[in-house]
């Protein structure tokens, strides 16, 4: 019935510096609306965060996104062409991120590249980071699925609007 992005995610908080690794589980979410007042929430609990020394990458598989409706999940996978483009990826250059000192928090805005449905575009997102032994990061971004070539599906009179919000939440540590 719709497409998703989270993610990465997404799907879409970011923070790290060279040498940081994922600390524990991570999640990505999306929220969408349909023309009939329907609200759709999707979650992915299998999110990978990696730092290659130049960029932070948040990756999730479309197959791992759950909207709490198996038919909707199937439609989403079909609409996103998950057989050809199985992952959603956000990549953010490390020099674009602000990192708070230990014991501190900060809020920021950054731009990264968001890849979904075989297309990659720049996306600006907001994030909040709180650091101590590890850094907890939470962020979100508005995404228009049409910008990525995803066709909006109508099913039983409900048409999901192409403007969705994606988010991610994770921890990284040195």
Please give the average pLDDT of every successive group of 10 residues along the chain, which has 174 residues: 36 48 96 93 97 94 96 94 97 91 94 96 96 95 96 89 96 91
Q: Label residue 154 left, alpha or beta by phi (over 0 means left) and psi (-120 to 50 means alpha).
A: beta
In angstroms, rounded to a whole number, what is the distance separating the alpha carbons of residues 34 and 116? 21
pLDDT of residue 63: 96
Angle at 105 between CA 45 and CA 31, to 5 degrees: 35
Closest by alpha carbon to 131, among 166, 170, 90?
170
pLDDT of residue 152: 83
In angstroms, rounded to a whole number, what is the distance separating the alpha carbons of residues 124 and 144? 12
At 118-154, the pLDDT tens digits run 999 999 999 999 999 999 999 999 999 999 999 888 8
DSSP H or E stretch at residue 75: helix 70-79
In angstroms, rounded to a whole number, what is the distance separating the alpha carbons of residues 11 and 59? 8
In angstroms, rounded to a whole number, what is the distance separating the alpha carbons of residues 22 and 47? 10
pLDDT of residue 104: 94
pLDDT of residue 106: 96
Instruction: Answer yes or no: are the C-beta atoms of 171 and 15 closer than 8 Å.
Output: no
Tokens at residue 173, please? 């540590």
Homologous superfamily of domain range 21-173: Lipid/polyisoprenoid-binding, YceI-like (2.40.128.110)
Return the sign of the alpha-carbon dihedral for residues 16, 92, 117, 6: positive
pLDDT of residue 9: 33
DSSP H or E stretch at residue 106: strand 105-116
pLDDT of residue 153: 86
pLDDT of residue 18: 59
Put simply, whether the predicted model's pTM sits higher than 0.95 gets the answer: no
pLDDT of residue 28: 97
Specify the residue for token string 């000192």: 101
């Amino acid at each position: 019935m719709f497409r998703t992005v989270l993610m990465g995610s997404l799907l879409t908080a970011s923070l790290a510096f060279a040498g940081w690794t994922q600390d524990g589980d991570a999640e990505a979410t999306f929220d969408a609306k349909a023309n009939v007042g329907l609200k759709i929430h999707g979650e992915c609990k299998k999110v990978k965060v990696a730092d290659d020394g130049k960029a932070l990458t948040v990756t999730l598989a479309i197959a791992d996104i759950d909207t709490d409706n198996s038919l909707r999940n199937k439609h989403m996978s079909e609409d996103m062409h998950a057989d050809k483009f199985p992952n959603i990826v956000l990549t953010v250059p490390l020099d674009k991120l602000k990192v708070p000192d230990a014991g501190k928090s900060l809020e920021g805005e950054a731009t990264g590249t968001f890849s979904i449905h075989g297309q990659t575009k720049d996306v600006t997102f907001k994030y909040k980071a709180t650091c101590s032994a590890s850094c907890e990061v939470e962020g979100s971004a508005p995404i228009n699925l049409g910008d990525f070539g995803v066709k909006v599906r109508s099913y039983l009179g409900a048409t999901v609007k192409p403007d969705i919000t994606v988010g991610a939440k994770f921890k990284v540590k040195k």
